[in-house]
Amino acid sequence: MPGQKIQIFDTTLRDGEQVPGCKLVTSEKLELALQLEELGVDIIEAGFPISSPGDFNSVTEIAKLITKATVCALSRAVEKDIEAAGLALKFAKRPRIHTGIGTSDSHIKAKFNATREEILERAIQSVKWARKYTDDIEFYAEDAGRTDNDYLARVVEAVIKAGATVVNIPDTTGYCLPQQYGDKIAYLINNVPNIDKAILSCHCHNDLGLATANSIAGVIAGARQIECTINGLGERAGNTALEEVVMVIKQHKELDLYTDIKAPLLNPISRKVSDIMRMNVQPNKAIVGSNAFSHSSGIHQDGFLKDTTTYEIIAPEEVGADSSKIVLTARSGRSALAFRFQKLNFQFDRNDVDALYQQFLLVADTKKEVEDADLEKMALAHQQNSLATA
Ligand code: KIV
Ligand code: ZN
């Protein structure tokens, strides 16, 4: 496998499950955890054990069930949270505690009414508490996207010294531009003296639609873990979509990065998550949307039918999607019409298609999409007409 590995930290069962209407019961979380492991994610964030007895139970059961992936539990920088996370992970083969605190001035003042020095101490203390339960400790500097870089570097250095092996740099509010987020990661790599003892993780929200771009900028700058969810589910406008970052990394070989995700399982798991969470996927969603491999304009259809790579950079089977579709609308052209007639077993020559195309446009102007039944009707009428005039 070429290049450097990017760890995929899936938080569908935690950040994704926070979405209103997406709450899961233990049996549903277990079913998804198994599929995430099969997909090849490196870390499954199973839940937030202190938040409810049900979630404590879910994390406990996932920890027992999962054998290959690391199972992670979230906590605040609060002793009883960390204790709950540690206990819920008791049976995990590879347990990770994810603890942290807000580090931006907005969080320090408005949420904690504290000072930077006090927050630094609480951050260090949280990692020390977590070490009682596991050596795999991830620290999150919440709202790192809006945290002053000098202060952030001090926090990162201190938590690594205290024992954190992964430091999460969340763009909690989805505020950063890709360049800014990448620069932040580069700044930490260049200014934290003990950075070689930990890896940096990207956790980017999508409030400005930049989550995927920011995560990719983060790994280009040297982060080695991406936190993401299936279908980009997550608080507010969502989190980074797993399927997007995985396919960006796979498509852009020049990045010299790879993940262990089995791409053909991306569409099946997307559908499973959508069903269980009762959250539809937008049709134009990259990789897993129902239109991701549909072609409807005449110019695109003509090119696609000559050579699929003219308009598709990924073959649908590569990501487990249904075959590409040629959709007929009033913007479609003759090649697409001829192709669809052929699929319906009608053999028409160029003159036939020319004649049928005019009828097709009349129907197409009255509908969103021309269906097989419309085409059959047109084709049969055309055949009868041809016989009558022969
Ligand atoms: O968005 C965020 O900052 C989070 C943390 C709890 C990691 O979800
Ligand atoms: Zn988040």
- Give tens-digit pLDDT for 259-283: 999 999 999 999 999 999 999 999 9
Q: For residues 128 and 229, state if they share a domain.
A: yes
Q: For residues 259 and 378, state if they share a domain.
A: no
Q: Is residue 90 situated within a structural domain? A: yes
Q: Position 145: which residue type?
A: G
Q: For residues 318 and 385, state if they share a domain.
A: yes
SS (H, E, C) 258-295: ECCCCHHHHHHHHHHHHHHHCCCCCCCCCCCCCCCCEE
Q: For residues 67 and 195, state if they share a domain.
A: yes
Q: For residues 147 and 109, state if they share a domain.
A: yes
- What's the rounded Cα separation, in Å, for the pair 324 and 53? 45
pLDDT at 1: 57
* Ligand 1 pocket test, candidate residues 142, 167, 214, most atoms within 8 A of CB: 142
**Domain residue limits at 374:** 294-389
pLDDT at 390: 75
Q: Is residue 248 situated within a structural domain? A: yes
Q: Position 127: which residue type?
A: V
- What's the rounded Cα separation, in Å, for the pair 205 and 43? 18
pLDDT at 261: 98
* Residue having the nearest C-alpha atom to atom 8 of ligand 1: 15
Q: Is residue 284 situated within a structural domain? A: no
Q: For residues 246 and 328, state if they share a domain.
A: no
Q: For residues 262 and 326, state if they share a domain.
A: no
Q: Which of 10, 16, 17 is nearest to 44 (CA)?
A: 10
Q: For residues 101 and 9, state if they share a domain.
A: yes
* Residue having the nearest C-alpha atom to atom 1 of ligand 1: 172
* Residue having the nearest C-alpha atom to atom 4 of ligand 1: 172
Neighbours of 209 (CB within 10 A): 10
pLDDT at 138: 99
Domain boundary (247, 277, 307) is at 277
Residues in Cβ contact with 135 at an 8 Å cutoff, skipping those fewer than 6 apart: 163, 165
Separation of CA 356 and ligand 1 centre (Å):
57
Separation of CA 184 and ligand 1 centre (Å):
17
* 370 three-state secondary structure: coil
Separation of CA 32 and ligand 1 centre (Å):
21
Q: Is residue 128 situated within a structural domain? A: yes
The ligand whose atoms approach the alpha carbon of 100 most closely is 1
Residues having CB closer than 6 A to ligand 1 are 15, 140, 142, 168, 170, 172, 203, 205
Q: Is residue 285 situated within a structural domain? A: no
* Ligand 1 pocket test, candidate residues 172, 181, 228, most atoms within 8 A of CB: 172
Q: Position 121: which residue type?
A: E
Separation of CA 379 and ligand 2 centre (Å):
54
Q: For residues 163 and 246, state if they share a domain.
A: yes
Separation of CA 12 and ligand 2 centre (Å):
10
Q: Is residue 273 situated within a structural domain? A: yes
Q: For residues 101 and 226, state if they share a domain.
A: yes
Separation of CA 225 and ligand 1 centre (Å):
14
Query: What is the CATH classification number for the domain harbouring 127?
Result: 3.20.20.70
Q: For residues 186 and 236, state if they share a domain.
A: yes
- What's the rounded Cα separation, in Å, for the pair 89 and 93? 9
Q: Is residue 84 situated within a structural domain? A: yes
* 143 three-state secondary structure: coil
* Residue having the nearest C-alpha atom to atom 7 of ligand 1: 140
* 367 three-state secondary structure: coil
The number of C-alpha atoms within 13 Å of 268 and in the hemisphere containing its C-beta is: 12
Which tokens in the block code for residue 148? Answer: 């002053």
pLDDT at 359: 96
Q: For residues 362 and 242, state if they share a domain.
A: no
Collect the ranges in the chain with pLDDT lower than 70.
1-2
Q: Tokens 């696609």 belong to which residue?
A: 304
pLDDT at 389: 85
Could you give the number of structural domains in the chain? 2
* Residue having the nearest C-alpha atom to atom 5 of ligand 1: 142
